[in-house]
Structure 1
Amino acid sequence: MQVPVHGADGASFVLHARHTTERPRMMARRVLALLWRCVLAVLLGLAFAVPMQTAAAADEAPLRFGILPLGGAFESRNDWEPLLADLSRAIGRPVSVLSVNSYEALEQAIQRDQVDMAFLSGKMALDTVTQRRMSVVAQVTRHDGLPGYRALLLTRKTGPRTTLKGLLAEPERWRLARGESRSVSGFIVPQLQLFLPNHIAMETRFASEVVGTHQATALAVANGEADVATNNTADFERFKLQFPAEAERLQVIWESELIPHAQIVVRREYGPEFQKKVQAFLVEYARGKGPRGDAERAVLKSLHDLAGFVAADNSSLLPAAKLAYQLARQSAMSSQWVNEAARQARLQRIESGYAEQTGALRGSGR
């Protein structure tokens, strides 16, 4: 005979009676004893297990690290995980990785407070510091020793559309592959330094456009899906190593001025002591001698060929603020307005906003 029994935690049990001749009173005592054991287990679990697990979870909550999408999300995660594992050991806290496919996805995660620390380039780093209560702790350096990198335009080496002169003369006949509007080298700098001065708005003047990562834009041109792509010196060097056959089909037709390197930012809710601990780890990383230093340098080599990190604060974003200001001003000057007074009002707002922003960056530091 089978007797179903339901425990206090919702679990169900089946009591198997070996002899159908057992008396009902004995069966009832067994059922009550089983129920009492279930209730006791639940009470003990509530009294001891839950508080211990909650405290452990609070102490070991991971630091959530957001990665600027430079290649694919999976590739970026693999590249960063060795360094973040070393960071976790240094600060005594787990570090989780948030790797996304777009600037917009990363920005939304930051807005939802799902990111505690991030690797970001100029405009996104600027926005997180001025709008999202984050602070700069370090800036990356590269082996070439330059204080920045350059935006590029890529075309195929052969075909009907291969020259900068042809691009500027008839942009409406070209298919564009570009970065998102928050991308410094993929959109902001080419728009500011090349297209707007030649009365070309990237968003409206081309026959079509593909928006994606630097890897995606280069592949689009190499595979004949676009005629010209925005890119940058650092990512194009990486592209040559990963896609040598496709890279061989491409050429550079324009280079920008130097763009400052990307920054590491940390949420301000993590106080100065914690920020200094993270900063010290980054600045000292790959500086040592011996096997450990060699291993760390190998990590940085695979991580976009970085040389290391230097200490930085919010004032390192002043060049990014200037670029954003110049782009806004150039756009206002080249746009159509109802009247001149409206244009001047817009320019005045841009000037006052820039003055307020630079003052905050110079004064706040961290």
Structure 2
Amino acid sequence: MMTSVLIQWSARLALVLAGSALVASCSRTPNAETTAIAPAEAEAGAACAPELAEIDFGIISTESQDNLKTQWEPFLQAMAAEIGRPINGFYATDYAGVIEGMGAGKVQLAWYGGKSYIEAAERSEAEAFAQTVNSDGTKGYYSHLITHKENPILQNIDVEQGNGDAYVVENAADLTFAFNDPNSTSGFLVPSYYVFAKNGVNPNQAFKELIFAGSHEATAQAVANNQVDVATNNSESMLKIEQGDPEAFEQIQIIWTSPIIPSDPVAYRKDLPDCLKEQIQTFFYNYDDAAVLEPLGWQGFDPATDADWNAIRELDIGEQILAVQNDANLSEADKQAQIEALNKQLEALQ
């Protein structure tokens, strides 16, 4: 039975969301063009934090490294010219690579999703300072469940109603399913809460086969190639797939859409010198080159703080509470103790 705090949280969350060999496995790509920084800009950059001759920028693995490099390198080059020092792309093979890279001091700046950011803020000294603004001016996106357009399960799903989540829960034992990454907001946390935890389902036990495909691109390809029955994805990635691989996009059918998720944070390490933080903020808050931003799906960045992703923290804690409530291996006393501890975490966010 939910405690009163959880009931209050559930109502609040509905309002918020309706209105988120490690370092060795990462690819650190110096930008060739950043070696030609203008002397005046280089001098200005050296005046602030000269001990940081260059900056490594972490990029979570939503797509293949080749695709991400194509999209990100022009932006990193523009940033290097602005702050007067090289900016190297740090392309991890999974989300944890960027989290751990920042924690180890190998990454000074990073683009995260909401779930990976709250992990990095908790254990890797990450501090959000900017939020992405979509090309249409909005600051949110959606998680999806997707299937192949010729999958027979569509005979039992009302696509217009988007009730594929109910079908997946009821028929999980007969389905193969793919999350993308356990640190993904839209590819793991959001469907874990709304589709599974709220319905008392443990996906690790429910499906005929469950895999973690890695990136959103990988889950889309797994569905398009009939390798899994159902997979997670999100609205931003589906738009990129439609633009970059229309043949695959034509094979994919969305069967469930989540409430809105806050758009992505950009964070730096808390211990960066203040003068460098100010330079970075100035660049992000004023950068508006559409030719560079459009391939990323954005029109710019708004100022943000750590608290802007408390909705993701609430969702994460809520998923944990429901998991405890539905855990048949826990005694009632153990459940109550764990739920009380989690509710205290919720109270601390309010």
Give the alignment's TM-score, normalised by structure 1: 0.76
Q: Measure how far apart 1:336 and its partner are.
A: 1.7
**Aligned counterpart, 2:268:** 266
Q: Matched residues in 2 for 1:198 and 1:353: separation?
A: 23
Partner of 1:174: 175
- The aligned residue for residue 218 of structure 2 is 216
Task: Kindly state the Cα deviation for residue 347 of structure 1 after the two structures are TM-superposed.
Answer: 0.5
SS at match of 1:186: helix
Aligned to 1:256: 258
Q: What residue is the counterpart of 1:82 in the other structure? A: 74
Cα distance, 1:98 vs structure 2: 0.4
Q: Is the 8 A contact 2:223 2:229 kept in 1?
A: yes
Q: Structure 1: where are the runs of 5+ without partners? A: 1-54, 287-295, 360-366
Choose 1 or 2 for highest CA Rg: 1
Q: What residue identity is the alignment partner of 1:260?
A: P
Structure 2 CA distance for aligned equivalents of residues 227 and 338 of structure 1: 32
In structure 2, what is the Cα distance between the partners aligned to 1:337 and 1:350?
A: 18
| Structure 1 segment 209-358 matched on structure 2, within 5 A | 209-211=210-212, 212-286=214-288, 296-303=289-296, 305-356=297-348, 358=349
1:84–1:95 contact (8 Å) kept in structure 2: yes
Q: Confirm whether residue 66 of structure 1 aligns to residue 26 of structure 2.
A: no
Distance 1:355 1:62 in 2: 40
| Runs of 4+ more than 3 Å apart | none
Q: 1:161·1:174 contact (CA, 8 Å) conserved in 2?
A: no
Deviation at 1:60, TM superposition (A): 6.0
- Name 2:197's counterpart in structure 1: 196
Superimposed CA distance per residue, residues 38-58 of structure 1 (whole angstroms, 9 cap, x where no aligned partner): xxxxxxxxxxxxxxxxx9xx6
Cα offset for 1:83?
0.9
Cα pair 1:161 1:167 within 8 Å, conserved: no
Three-state SS of the structure 2 residue aligned to 1:141 is strand
Instruction: Give ranges in structure 2 of 5+ residues lacking alignment.
Output: 1-45, 158-163
The alpha carbon displacement at 1:59 in A equals: 5.0
Deviation of the 1:209 alpha carbon = 2.3
In structure 2, give the amino acid aligned to 1:203: N
- AA aligned opposite 2:341: R
Q: How many residues align?
A: 294
Q: Hey, what's the Cα distance between the residues in 2 that align with 1:107 and 1:266?
A: 11
Q: Say whether the 8 Å CA contact 1:74–1:99 is kept in structure 2.
A: no
1:68, distance to aligned residue in structure 2 (A): 1.2
| Higher relative contact order (CA closer than 8 Å, sequence separation 6+) | 2
- The question of whether the paired residues in 2 share the 8 Å contact of 1:178 and 1:230 is answered with yes
Three-state SS of the structure 1 residue aligned to 2:141 is strand
Say if 2:132 and 2:139, in contact at 8 Å, map to a contact too.
no
Q: Structure 1 residues 353 and 219, CA, compared in 2 at 3 Å: closer, same or farther?
A: same
Contact 2:59-2:91 within 8 A present in 1 as well: yes
Instruction: Give the secondary-structure state (helix, strand or coil) at the position aligned to 1:137.
Output: strand
Equivalent residues of 1:137, 1:312 under 8 A apart: yes
- Deviation string, structure 1 residues 235-278 (Cα, Å, up to 9, x no partner): 01111111111111111110000000111101112133321221
Is contact 2:177–2:207 with CA below 8 Å preserved after alignment?
Answer: yes
Aligned to 1:207: 208
